[in-house]
Amino acid sequence: MMSDVMQPVRVLAITRKPHSASFEQRITNFVEPLKAFGVEVDVAVYPKKLLRQVAVLSRARQYDVVWWHRHLLPWWQLRLLRGKARYLVYDFDDPVCFSTREDGASSVRSQRFRRLVGAADAVLAGSHYLRDLAEAHNGNVHIVPMAIDLPPEYGSDLGKTPRELLWLGSESTQKYLELIRPALEDLGRQRRDLKLRLVAHKPMTFGDLDTEFVQWSPQTQDEALRECTVGLCPMPDNPWTRGKCPYKVLQYMSHAMPWVGSAVGENIVTAGEPEGDSARGRVAMAQDEWVAAIVALVDVIDDSRQMGMRARRYIEVNHERHHIAERVAAILREGLSDALVGHV
């Protein structure tokens, strides 16, 4: 913990979308933990009207750091921001330089990303892939992964019947389940001891696979994470998804739940080595790979239990919120100190 005699670092976090899951995970949930490390964060919403934007940016002079969340700016707004921020930190958890289209192409996004990252004093990137994108334009880039609060109780009964597969998430990602529809339907034909719990926003069916739809809520999500056997995280392979930080995988792992995800981006990093004593999850692409990975996890219980415990330990070391908060505080404090020395 930071020494009590150290001066606090005052931070103004600015976002366009204060109620988004991204802002909640990247900044809101750190406001309280950061206080323990001498960092005080105030939040401001960046409005759409120019005069109100100037008013928000004018507040930056009252703070040591501006923590800019995700939103890409046209050049003239970036110039205003840079002129008023003493120390500018850019934080992003999606490859915002791309569009969400299949090819990801967007000249406007690419140009704005390059300018904003280049203008920042420090960049906080949510994944290895995002770090690589930012390092092309800035030499002070830090990987700050998604953080999670660890449940005190974890580990479901892997030997129970039926063995429950789990998918949980938002309406925007539920469509990704179509990518593994053939695999799920194949499992429904082969295995009567399997069930899918769908904690989502709309019902879906997968042939003969017993599927229970549960409307998403914090309570139903927590129940599913405690009770289900294997987590699922399918997603397509494109420039956008390669940089995503799939939070549901971290949720599975924090509950010591073995999981299967598409062999894309951060899923590959998080799963670890596919064989041996270091695997923390399984990745697959082809439909038969999905079937084989799921069957292996539900049938070889001892291996799955060990994988789940490795996953839990990995989360404790790399994604626990208090540890991430300490890391963010050190980045902000050390970077600001270096900048002040450079201006003397």
pLDDT of residue 343: 46
| Residue range 204-235, pLDDT digits in tens | 999 999 999 999 999 999 999 999 999 999 99
- Give the pLDDT of residue 2: 46
Q: At residue 245, does pLDDT exceed 80?
A: no
Longest Cα–Cα distance of the chain, Å, equals 71
Tracing tokens 């009252």 back to the chain, one arrives at 62
pLDDT at 147: 94
CATH number at 163-318? 3.40.50.2000
Position 240 pLDDT exceeds 90: no
Q: What is the CATH number of domain 9-147+320-343?
A: 3.40.50.2000
User: Do residues 46 and 100 lie in contact, with contact meaning Cβ atoms separated by under 8 Å?
Assistant: no
pLDDT of residue 341: 53
Asked whether the predicted pLDDT for residue 344 surpasses 60, the reply is no
Q: pLDDT (tens digit, 9 = 90+) per residue, 259-288?
A: 999 999 999 999 998 766 789 999 999 999
Instruction: Answer whether residue 337 shows pLDDT above 80.
Output: no
Give CA–CA dist 181/36, Å, rounded.
46
CA triple 26-31-37, angle to 5 deg: 110
3-state helix, strand, coil in the chain (%, to 5): 45, 20, 35
What are the tens digits of pLDDT across the range 149-185?
999 888 878 888 889 999 999 888 999 999 999 999 9
Average pLDDT, the chain: 92
Q: Flag whether pLDDT at 140 surpasses 90.
A: yes
Lowest-confidence pick of 74-88, 116-130, 328-342: 328-342
Name the percent of the chain lying above pLDDT 70: 95
pLDDT of residue 220: 97
Mean pLDDT, rounded, for 77-99: 94
Over residues 57-79, the mean pLDDT reads 95
Answer yes or no: is pLDDT of 40 > 50: yes
Question: Which DSSP symbol is given to 148?
Answer: B
pLDDT score recorded for residue 246: 82
Determine the average pLDDT of the residues in 284-304. 96
**pLDDT at residue 137 is higher than 90:** yes
Q: Provide the 3-class DSSP secondary structure of residue 114.
A: helix
Does pLDDT of 197 surpass 60? Answer: yes
Residue 276 has a pLDDT of: 66
pLDDT digits (tens, 9 = 90+) for 320-329: 999 999 999 9
Q: Give CA–CA dist 299/291, Å, rounded.
A: 12
At 87 the three-state DSSP class reads: coil
Contact 207, 180 (CB under 8 A): no
- Whole-number CA gyration radius for the chain: 22
- Annotated domain spans of the chain: 9-147+320-343, 163-318
Q: Are 118 and 88 in contact (CB under 8 A)?
A: no
CA torsion 204-205-211-213 (nearest 10°) is: 20
The pLDDT assigned to 1 comes to: 45
Predicted confidence band of residue 316 (pLDDT cuts 50, 70, 90) = very high
For the chain, what percent of residues have pLDDT higher than 90? 83
Using alpha carbons, list the distances in angstroms from residue 58 to 10, 38, 42, 91: 15, 24, 14, 20
Q: pLDDT band at 339, cuts 50/70/90? A: low
* Cα angle, residue 250 at apex, residues 69 and 302 outer, rounded to 5°: 170
* 188 pLDDT tier (thresholds 50, 70, 90): very high
User: What are 26-36's pLDDT values in tens digits?
Assistant: 999 999 999 99
pLDDT score for 55: 93
pLDDT score for 4? 46
Strands of the 88-92 sheet, one edge to the other: 39-45, 9-15, 65-69, 88-92, 122-125, 141-143
Rounded Cα–Cα distance for residues 223 and 233 (Å): 18
The pLDDT confidence band at residue 104, using thresholds 50, 70 and 90, is: confident
